């Protein structure tokens, strides 16, 4: 499923891209969601439920670790920390199904991006979920 920029995140991302202070923390963190939810333009942070396994927490993203943007077939994309995925290891006590992830402002008030996985991922105790974040934009058809 394609990544979504919720309406609440779009103005902030635009302001950041133009060097304008958006009035919220410019930092970002990535979080997984375990509720059977499909992100849409009306998505808010509160719409998604994080895993409850031992040791889980959202992860800070360092904007300087985004790679070099590429353009293929009129679609620009950029990968976070190329070659090094974000990882979460479940400390149990039971399996959880992860449906996707979202990126939020550090102050946890705004969903900047959200994506549902094409296939949900079951994470058993001791399993590690790897996530490569690729932001892709282009014209809609």
- What pLDDT does residue 1 have? 60
Asked whether the predicted pLDDT for residue 124 surpasses 70, the reply is yes
pLDDT tens digit string along 40-51?
A: 999 999 999 999
- What pLDDT does residue 58 have? 96
Q: Where does the pLDDT of residue 119 fall: very low under 50, low under 70, confident under 90, or very high at 90 and above?
A: very high
Distance CA 103, CA 116 (A): 12
138 SS3 class: strand
pLDDT tens digit string along 47-92?
A: 999 999 999 999 999 888 888 888 888 888 889 999 999 999 999 9
Write down the pTM of the prediction: 0.88
Average pLDDT over residues 9-28: 74
- What pLDDT does residue 138 have? 63
Q: Which residue has the tokens 């920390």?
A: 81
Per residue, the 3-state secondary structure of 34-67, as one string, reads: CCCCCCCCCCCHHHCCCCCCCCCCCEEECHHHEC
């Amino acid at each position: 499923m394609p990544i979504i920029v919720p309406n609440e995140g779009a103005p902030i991302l635009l302001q950041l891209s133009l060097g304008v202070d958006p009035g919220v923390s410019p930092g970002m963190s990535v979080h997984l969601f375990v509720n059977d939810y499909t992100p849409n333009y009306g998505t808010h942070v509160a719409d998604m439920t994080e895993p409850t396994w031992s040791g889980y927490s959202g992860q800070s993203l360092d904007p300087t670790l985004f790679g070099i943007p590429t353009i293929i077939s009129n679609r620009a994309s950029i990968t976070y920390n190329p070659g090094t995925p974000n990882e979460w290891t479940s400390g149990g006590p039971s399996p959880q199904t992860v449906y996707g992830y979202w990126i939020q402002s550090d102050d946890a008030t705004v969903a900047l991006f959200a994506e549902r996985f094409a296939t949900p991922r079951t994470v058993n105790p001791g399993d590690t979920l790897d996530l490569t974040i690729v932001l892709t934009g282009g014209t809609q058809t």
